[in-house]
A and B are shown apart, each in its own frame.
Chain A
């Protein structure tokens, strides 16, 4: 009878099982979303997220039929403005013009119909230095 430890077998089977679950998930249910900057949006459409800075004008109400309307451009400022119409719950309190945000939704005809807005978490927020 072999005296070989089953530890290696257990580890091998465990790793194989983990990989199988992982592959199954990524094959069947795994969804990833493109996260782009406004300057990377050319040739893209469908569900995606845009990372950018909020630009004026900021109009409307996210609960109304017309939605909350604003623009997004690259955080470094080197891009055109992407118009966004957001419907849903009120955006987070720190949402305002000039704030860095991630907005996700459906992008079509050079416009984002957004259903989620995330602003920078206040835990790492540093206010502008006073003059």
Chain B
């Protein structure tokens, strides 16, 4: 079995090298049959990588511990879904998933566009094959998932915290996002290499970018929710370098998704879009480098890995390649039109882009700071949470405001008077909300108050747009189906508002206290009184559970239990928090019981009340809904595109 996996990977590597070299020669020399052959090699590389992936999946399900990877990440007690999730639980499996998704996405994207964009796809094939060659090489030569050994009786197992449905879905979602960004990058590079730098590459990859962006965004929220319920520290995002590694390409892709609309409509920002698409892709590879190299001390990554230097080399070479391409094609990337006014929708998109990229680069600076200080000063210095929180407010709050203003400003130019008239109703709603919030005590946190009022402003502009549009078309469904991209975008904006409210509420207005309790003693916080009833220990299959049982009275009445589990196989502990969601008040009661002393019957109880935190998770579903609306095939749009691309085809 392992031999089949190894052989399949070697075949993938060979096919990808052929697609890279043959495809490049075919594109330069305009050899059509060779180009078709290179394209078929890319398709076949997906097939052989799928065989390798199937071999690993079967080994995981069958608990075949002669595979070193299977023995290191699973054991016999694991159920099939969790055994399968070990596919992406380790380095080698994750890299195989990268290659599988890349070749699958690549084959599909090239197959879809091979007729309409033939002049571009002859270059897209070698670019995608080049990226694939790197991953196939690492899998064959540096980090193979098919190393074998004398099979032990049982494997090491999957750490208990990872045996969670969120952790089954979170990594593949991130990979679908990371790898998905390779498609617009390859088409952008193909456009520059072929000299066809019009808007066709953007049109061809819009849905790919949107899908990758959706997966990356939703994957991060899944990870945040997992951290919230499973890791048990009361938070959901720690600004850790590896967490930031997923956020940075998402921010760059967000900027790209907005700025391509300007290029499609006005023929502007061509260079900027090339830079953004390259930045998003490079950051996605850089994220994998950060996660796997151990170059930065992170709660996710301590050990140095042999693949780190390979990834660094790939990031450097592909960045130089992108930069060289952009510089080479600068004359072809001139704008068709000019920005006519600083007060126009185009300008609002530009401000939005600047803020998104500024936030992205600020986070990148924070991630790189330890490496740079080590290089310059010989001493590693790290930047903590206050730095990131400051810049999230400095750039995030104006972004939130722009999200409301942007859709209401006219294209080309507008006057202050017209803008003021347009914003009158949303402005009035915002002021009323601000006054109400201060009256209800939200003034205790200025950033929180600003985030809430800006959110009210954005929501009122979205409602205004929907009401106006529905009046014009007669039905909301008809309105959305006529322009799925625009109204899907509004739904995504609503999701971002929910996210902002959730983050502001759970960080600016949360409260917490820690108390040592004996049976009968109580702790009170924000209208909840928790009384320790008992401390118990019980055996369950594969674990010993220790729990503090607490009675709760006040805003919610009932009983909750929190403590820890000590697992037998693998012999690891896990913290078990109690989370009670009060939907009426839209807040969570979050209880962490630690240092449980069974003899003395004492426990340290940390109680947190987190207002509106659940809006963050609701935002995830609204975000996916909006993205799917924008992604959904649209026959009208398709007809427009065919008409638009027809002259280029001819």
A residues apposed to B, CB below 8 Å: 3-7, 9-11, 14-15, 18, 21-22, 25, 29-36, 40, 49, 51, 61-63, 75, 89-90, 92-94, 100, 102, 118-131
Contact = CB atoms under 8 A, between A and B. Distances in A.
A5 B152 contact: no
Contacts of A29: 386, 390
A93 B574 contact: yes
Interface in B277-336: 291, 297-303, 335
A34 B572 CA distance: 31
A126 B382 contact: no
Nearest to A62: B595
A63 B157 CA distance: 32
B167 interface: yes
21 contacts: A6-B342, A7-B350, A10-B339, A11-B350, A14-B350, A18-B395, A33-B381, A33-B384, A34-B379, A35-B370, A35-B382, A49-B382, A75-B303, A89-B514, A100-B303, A120-B302, A122-B159, A122-B572, A123-B223, A126-B73, A130-B154
B499 to A, nearest CB: 22
B299 A119 contact: yes
B379 A129 contact: no
Contacts of B71: 129-130
Given A35-B370, A123-B300, A126-B73, A90 B381 contact: no
Given A32-B373, A127-B572, 4 more contacts: A5-B340, A21-B394, A63-B604, A122-B574
A54 to B, nearest CB: 12
Contacts of A5: 335, 338-340
B161 interface: yes
Interface in B146-188: 152-157, 159-162, 167
B391 interface: yes
Interface string B531-551: 000000000000000000000
Interface in B19-39: none
A18 B573 CA distance: 45
A102 B606 contact: no
B354 A18 contact: yes
A72 to B, nearest CB: 13
Contacts of B390: 25, 29
Main secondary structure of the interface of B (DSSP, over half): mixed
A92 to B, nearest CB: 7
Contacts of B157: 127
Nearest to A6: B342
B417 to A, nearest CB: 20
A33 B382 contact: yes
Contacts of B354: 10-11, 14-15, 18
Contact of A94 (B335, B338, B386, B573): B573
B356 to A, nearest CB: 11
The 3 closest A-B pairs by CB, nearest first: A5-B338, A90-B594, A127-B156
Contacts of B342: 6, 9-10
Contacts of A49: 382
Interface string B399-415: 00000000000000000
Contacts of A31: 383-384, 386-387
B396 interface: no
Interface in B453-486: none
A71 B159 CA distance: 25
A82 to B, nearest CB: 16
B156 A36 contact: no
Contacts of B351: 10, 14
A115 to B, nearest CB: 13
A68 B606 CA distance: 18
Contacts of A7: 268, 338-339, 347, 350
B369 A32 contact: yes
B422 interface: no
Given A11-B350, A102-B297, A127-B157, A89 B594 contact: yes
B231 interface: yes
B233 to A, nearest CB: 7
Contacts of B73: 126
A18 B358 contact: yes
A124 B301 contact: yes
Contacts of B384: 31-33
Contacts of B167: 123
B594 A6 contact: no
Contacts of A75: 302-303
